[in-house]
Amino acid sequence: MTEKGKVRVVVVGANGRMGREVVRTVVKDPGLQLVGAVDRSVEKEDVGVVLGLGETGVYFSDKLGETLLKSEADVIIDFTTPNVVRDNIYTSLEYGVRPVVGTTGIPQEDLQAWDRILQDKGIGGLVAPNFAIGAILMMKFAAQAARYLPHVEIIEMHHDQKLDAPSGTAIKTAEMIVKERQRMVQGHPDEEEKLAGARGADFEGMKIHSVRLPGYVAHQEVILGGIGQTLTIRHDSISRESFMPGVAMAAKKVMEFTGLVYGLENLID
Ligand SMILES: NC(=O)C1=CN([C@@H]2O[C@H](COP(=O)(O)OP(=O)(O)OC[C@H]3O[C@@H](n4cnc5c(N)ncnc54)[C@H](O)[C@@H]3O)[C@@H](O)[C@H]2O)C=CC1
Ligand SMILES: O=C(O)C1=N[C@H](C(=O)O)C[C@H](O)C1
């Protein structure tokens, strides 16, 4: 049964590190209603019971299409893996359900294709590589600073179970920075890597370094260098709760626009 005035949400990847946090958030939020939970790792159990929230009447399923059909969802919130998110989005679009996507590692061509479909259907969708407000500010400050200090390196640090590198946040940061500075060569033009990868990944002349260690959640430093000085802008997510206000806001705001928005900063400006 759906409750009037609430956005009806299906969480995809609902038994993952992020998905479980999202389920807790949706269940608590008076503007949202949990109507489905999809994950391949758990079968037909009450999602609330599995998460220690008490009975919710919503049962885990591994079939997204079937869940969307039964639940009459407004929105899916997807935190799965880079190799399955694409199929999930196409399934949600097929059923006319708005995607709110936190899963990273999505190529730009997919974003453009989804935007066209969302425009045709007259509904909204959001892909946000990072939902933490502090991370959004870190990216914006870094882009602003790069206008004056264009030599930039990005170091991102994550838990060692992360599948994609560099992180979606690091790529988004680099994309925002290159809008503010010219393509340029950084470091010595004749520099040589004595061990492959020593200088990190290259994004239009900017280097990105990925650290994976137990103990980390999600962290990033953007280091900008100038003559006789460096500026370091750092953000730390010390728990996955940091992402939740952004996720809840996105699930509501996605009801209000048409087409694909890429980046949470575009919903809060
Ligand atoms: N945008 C943001 O603010 C954030 C994004 N992320 C991203 O979210 C994604 C998920 O991260 P975690 O929760 O740490 O990963 P995780 O591995 O803990 O969770 C992924 C879940 O997806 C499920 N899954 C995999 N394939 C599936 C399928 N075909 N159908 C249904 N469920 C499936 C898995 O069983 C697992 O429970 C990653 O891409 C990560 O980079 C993570 C944190 C914040
Ligand atoms: O996998 C994670 O944990 C995170 N992934 C996102 C990313 O790739 O940027 C967001 C955050 O950094 C946590």
Q: Catalytic annotation on 158?
A: yes
What CATH number is attached to the domain comprising 217? 3.30.360.10
Whether the CB of 151 sits within 6 Å of ligand 2: no
Examine the predicted complex and report whether its ipTM is higher than 0.95: yes
**For residue 94, what are its two tokens?**
């097929």
The single residue of 158, 209, 219, 235 carrying the catalytic annotation is: 158
CA-15 nearest atom, ligand 1: 37
Residue of 23, 79, 241 to mutate, ligand 1, most atoms within 8 A of C-beta: 79
Judgement on whether residues 227 and 120 belong to the same structural domain of the protein: no
Pairwise pLDDT comparison (38 vs 185), residue with the higher score = 38
212 within some domain: yes
Judgement on whether residues 124 and 245 belong to the same structural domain of the protein: yes
Contacts of 94 (CB under 8 A, 6+ apart): 65
Whether the CB of 130 sits within 6 Å of ligand 2: yes
Judgement on whether residues 146 and 203 belong to the same structural domain of the protein: yes
Tell me, what's the pLDDT at 267? 96
Q: What is the pLDDT of residues 141-168, one digit of tens each?
A: 999 999 999 999 999 999 999 999 999 9
User: What's the total number of domains in the chain?
Assistant: 2
- Residue with the smallest CA separation from ligand 1 atom 38 is 103
Q: Evaluate if residue 11 carries a pLDDT over 80.
A: yes
Judgement on whether residues 219 and 262 belong to the same structural domain of the protein: no
What's the average model confidence in pLDDT over 97-104? 98
76 within some domain: yes
Q: What is the pLDDT of residues 21-34, one digit of tens each?
A: 999 999 999 999 99
What's the average model confidence in pLDDT over 240-253? 98
Judgement on whether residues 120 and 248 belong to the same structural domain of the protein: yes
112 within some domain: yes
1 within some domain: no
Residue-number span of the structural domain to which 185 is assigned:
133-239
- Residue with the smallest CA separation from ligand 1 atom 17 is 16
Q: What is the pLDDT of residues 78-91, one digit of tens each?
A: 999 999 999 999 99
Ligand 1 centroid to 79 CA: how many Å? 4
Ligand 2 centroid to 88 CA: how many Å? 19
Q: Is 131 annotated as a binding residue?
A: yes
On average, the pLDDT of the chain sits at 96
Judgement on whether residues 147 and 253 belong to the same structural domain of the protein: no
232 within some domain: yes
Judgement on whether residues 14 and 126 belong to the same structural domain of the protein: yes
Tell me, what's the pLDDT at 2? 59
Judgement on whether residues 41 and 169 belong to the same structural domain of the protein: no
Tell me, what's the pLDDT at 4? 80
Judgement on whether residues 12 and 120 belong to the same structural domain of the protein: yes
Judgement on whether residues 161 and 38 belong to the same structural domain of the protein: no
Q: Evaluate if residue 48 carries a pLDDT over 90.
A: yes
Judgement on whether residues 71 and 119 belong to the same structural domain of the protein: yes
170 within some domain: yes
The pTM score is 0.96
What CATH number is attached to the domain comprising 104? 3.40.50.720
Ligand 2 centroid to 165 CA: how many Å? 10
Confidence of residue 1 (pLDDT cuts 50, 70, 90): very low
Whether the CB of 63 sits within 6 Å of ligand 1: no
2 within some domain: no
Judgement on whether residues 112 and 29 belong to the same structural domain of the protein: yes
Q: Catalytic annotation on 252?
A: no
